Structure 1
Amino acid sequence: MKNDLRQKLHLEPKKGWLNDPNGLSFFGGAYRVYFQYSPDSPYGDGDKCWGYFEGRDLLDWKYMGAVIRPDIREDINGVYSGSGLVRGDKLYLFYTGNVKEDGDYDYITCGRGANVILVTTTDGRHMSGKRVLLRNSDYPEYCSCHVRDPKVWEENGSYRMVLGARTLEDKGCVLFYRSDDLLDWHFEKSVGKDDLGYMWECPDVIRLGGRRFLSISPQGLPHGMYSHQNVYSAGYFAFDGEVPREFEEWDYGFDFYAPQSFTAPDGRTLLIGWMGIGDIPYKNPTAELGWQHCLTIPRELSVGKNGRIIQRPFRELGRLKKEPPVSIAQGENVTAKLPFCFASAACEDSFSLRLSDAVDVRTENGVFSLKFPDERAGGGRDIRRVKIGECRSLEVIADMTSLEIFINGGEKVMSTRFYPDETALTVAADGITGIIHELAEMRVMTDENG
């Protein structure tokens, strides 16, 4: 069957452009997933809004369209990224209101307003009036006009906020603020690290297993064969509150940026990222059909024995598995219909797993690689690599136009978009065995008129 390129396991808009996940929360008995949204253009042109999905669980969603639009002077050029905090019967949503002044400006050192704005909602989709909390004059004098993406949480009886920033010396940093009432915010400190880019976007402080991590999406990193291979990166530090430690990337594939964490009602820490990146040198053919980009599946986070974060597919995905599964043996080819998941049973030191002529994943000499032999299927994507030592396990979540690959139980992850012509793929195994489950699709209804 011909592939219509519509995802079955991932949240994506019916039309327009999606990027950063925003305001992720569980509130009023439902999951709330907002996202950066340009409803009028699959290339990100026009109004920059917040789109909205609401789900009673992680497999059953309603798509609500744009729910926050730029309509005041302080956000006239875009409702940019932010976060959500549940307090009582209200969800507090914080975002950056973008303003670009008319004139001959570079919009880095002058000409741009970056305002932290608050709205509240009691039902997730109908918003209160907007209140401006912070303006450029409230940021340290060493900051450029690029300050954005508030993430807010409660800790030890007060509220904390982090903002991503670019200094006038072109160094990325995170600004920390504190409040007693969510309205009046006071600057506490900034945290940075030398030689890690000129801008840090989408900061997030993640408390996990009694430890603390600082997540950022830095821009301007030098690219290597095994690290920072994309235009922009996303990763985290172990963080004691003062000095960030070694930077670890969240994802080593082609398409991952701007992740945000939140807590599920059962206590799990979940992470969702944008399965895309800005300014990419490759293409997504869905743009020609009127939409572009999707979010990743939710990933469950835990801390591994080495102190680094483990990412696993959300457990609800198992409810979509169709029975019976199909076994694939060494040297065997089987046909699987998208969407499906593959889980390895045994891996040799060197192996390959090939999906038709579209994608080749393999391990050789301690390096895991994701390669597109067919440039058209990858939209111009070529190869990504990550050092793993040995491969003990492999799990692949294959949707209609995406792959999320979890290596060694989620110690490393690679995500990519891909565009096979047909929904039935030939899976060829060499040096690896495993099980394939075809997957039912999650439910996404559309309700933009409430």
Structure 2
Amino acid sequence: MDLCAKEAWQELEQQSELKAKIAQDNWRLYFHLMPETGWMNDPNGLCQFNGVYHFYHQYVPQNPAGKEAPHWGHKTSTNLVDFKEEAIFLSPEHSYDRNGVFSGSAIVKDDQIHFFYTGNVKNEGDHDYTFSGREQNTVHVISDGYSIEKQEVVIPHEAYPAGFTDHIRDPKVFEKEGRYYMILGARTRESEGKILIYQSEDLSQWTYQGIFLGDDYSLGYMWECPDFFQLDGQDILLFSPQGVDPQAYAFNNLYQSGYLLGEVDWKNLKFKPISDFVELDRGFDFYAPQTFLDQKGRRLLWGWMGLGDTSPEYSNPTVTRGWQHAATLPRELSFNGQRLIQQPLPEYQKLRGKPFFWNVELKDSVTAPKLAGEVYELQVELIQQTKNLQLLLRQDTILSYDGHIFTLSHGPSGYGRKKRSIQLSELRQIQLFMDTSSMEVFINNGEYTFTSRLYPQKEQDQIVFSGTGSLAIQLWPFSN
């Protein structure tokens, strides 16, 4: 065996040993997507093709801190619950993406998947890599979802319009009336967020059309991961702004993700907002969401259960165990005439074990029977006016509602995550998906959501209800 082959074999053995070690971690998630090893972040290239759901994602397999050039990891499913780990789909191996295959999207045309991503290049020298030293090329890939037929740069860095920093990235491509459009997140040299728009007839030749959003709208210094779609006749624009100041209960995370309702002037290709910016999730761990339309006609969304960069406030202890981050559950989007509604998919009902139902008259506190374990779905309906409601979960996590303020708070198991709140006109219903080290809360049938990681000690599975009022409770332990 020559030296190169020996080194490759040793690396393969080490990776296999690491996977086996990580698989035994008690904080590995039961029904959420996560990396086999290393680091995961943004969902990318989401699509359904020939009946198969494809979930690609930012992936650094060897570094759980994410400090190396990212690849695109790849997972597939036919039912959105059971996923297969596929080979790495894209790697930073070209001159135009040598420092990272950054985020992008997918669109299906003529029985092929067309992917678009940002190829990241950091040139040597004394640079800040915001105003100088970085190239971000838009790359087009044609594929069947597994192998690459064609890969080429369609918008080189030097072709971007003047007046912008080196941060132009995250192409999202969509089709309308036979034409293709690409939107890109950007930061100007005056540190203002913008969304650029390009147009194409064939997905290969792209022409810059101007600023889709940002001429008359300001929010933060950089906009990442733009996404546009129409839902029930409403134009909706998602993006993830950076540099937004906290406002009472809003914008409390390091970076935000949310949406604007608006109207598109298709002649001039301008998005005109008709609403304020609305956060998609009010918890601690939600960023860089991406949507796609599946073959059932559903608009589905996945988010990254993490945050851009590293939060100065809280951490993930799994880094020392060889892995970090995960994806949210896929959520179905609908529009109720005023706001986006996010709901868990009915496919996840297949995980439900034996159900437990009970009605509770709260006068002080009630401890639920120890039936759920660490992984479950819990639904709580408020039958009549409930005061000072609290749910104590998994050691030291509390969901509370008092005086129209709903709050998620963590103790030490939050590893620095403290409290997030929202003001509600009323609380009617709570649906909670509890995994081994994550939780997703859907309030009032998906009007609001809270997503968070948490790291309790083993076998901390008690559920305690307190307050006054009447509750109808349904609980399903999750099983294979």
TM range (shorter): over 0.9
Alignment match of 2:71 (pick from 33, 49, 52):
49
Alignment match of 2:393 (pick from 322, 345, 355):
355
Question: Would you say the 8 A contact 1:328–1:436 is kept in 2?
Answer: no
Alpha-carbon distance between aligned partners in 1 of 2:358 and 2:340, rounded to the nearest angstrom:
30
Alpha-carbon distance between aligned partners in 1 of 2:125 and 2:367, rounded to the nearest angstrom:
61
Alpha-carbon distance between aligned partners in 2 of 1:421 and 1:328, rounded to the nearest angstrom:
29
Match of 2:449 in 1: 413
Question: Would you say the 8 A contact 1:40–1:47 is kept in 2?
Answer: no
Task: Give the CA deviation at 1:61.
Answer: 1.1
Q: Call closer, same or farther: CA 1:304–1:423 in 2, change over 3 Å.
A: farther
1:38 aligns with 2:70: no
Match of 1:447 in 2: none
Task: Give the CA deviation at 1:349.
Answer: 4.4
- Amino acid of the structure 1 residue aligned with 2:396: A
Alpha-carbon distance between aligned partners in 1 of 2:375 and 2:350, rounded to the nearest angstrom:
14
Alpha-carbon distance between aligned partners in 1 of 2:142 and 2:466, rounded to the nearest angstrom:
54
Q: Call closer, same or farther: CA 1:328–1:8 in 2, change over 3 Å.
A: farther
- Amino acid of the structure 1 residue aligned with 2:475: I
Q: Call closer, same or farther: CA 1:126–1:423 in 2, change over 3 Å.
A: farther
Question: Would you say the 8 A contact 1:255–1:416 is kept in 2?
Answer: yes
Task: Give the CA deviation at 1:184.
Answer: 0.6
- Amino acid of the structure 2 residue aligned with 1:28: N
Alignment match of 1:422 (pick from 423, 447, 458):
458
Match of 1:445 in 2: none
Question: Would you say the 8 A contact 1:261–1:270 is kept in 2?
Answer: yes
1:307-328 superposed Cα distances (whole Å, 9 cap, x missing partner): 2100001111112111132436
Alignment match of 1:63 (pick from 42, 63, 85):
85
Q: Call closer, same or farther: CA 1:204–1:367 in 2, change over 3 Å.
A: same
Q: Following TM superposition, where does structure 1 have runs of at least 4 consecutive aligned residues deviating by more than 4 angstroms?
A: none
1:2-28 superposed Cα distances (whole Å, 9 cap, x missing partner): 971111110001101000000000012
Task: Give the CA deviation at 1:189.
Answer: 2.2
Task: Give the CA deviation at 1:46.
Answer: 2.1
1:324 aligns with 2:355: yes
Alpha-carbon distance between aligned partners in 2 of 1:221 and 1:187, rounded to the nearest angstrom:
28
Task: Give the CA deviation at 1:207.
Answer: 1.2
SS at match of 2:277: strand
Give the CA RMSD over aligned residues: 1.5
Q: Which runs of 5+ in 2 are unaligned?
A: 1-23, 265-270
Matches for 1:10-409 after TM superposition, within 5 Å: 10-122=32-144, 124-190=145-211, 191-192=213-214, 194-241=217-264, 242-244=271-273, 245-278=275-308, 279-280=310-311, 281-305=313-337, 307-327=338-358, 329=360, 330=362, 331-334=365-368, 335=370, 336-346=372-382, 348-372=386-410, 374-375=411-412, 377-409=413-445
Alpha-carbon distance between aligned partners in 2 of 1:57 and 1:223, rounded to the nearest angstrom:
39
Task: Give the CA deviation at 1:188.
Answer: 1.3
User: Which is strand-richer, 1 or 2?
Assistant: 1
Deviates more, 1:9-18 or 1:191-200: 191-200
TM-score of the superposed pair, with normalisation by structure 2: 0.88
Task: Give the CA deviation at 1:423.
Answer: 4.1
1:224-269 superposed Cα distances (whole Å, 9 cap, x missing partner): 3311110000000002123223100000000000000011211111
Alpha-carbon distance between aligned partners in 2 of 1:272 and 1:243, rounded to the nearest angstrom:
25
Deviates more, 1:324-333 or 1:334-343: 324-333
State the number of aligned residues: 436
Alpha-carbon distance between aligned partners in 2 of 1:173 and 1:339, rounded to the nearest angstrom:
41
Q: Which has the higher contact order (CA 8 A, sep 6+)?
A: 1
TM-score of the superposed pair, with normalisation by structure 1: 0.94
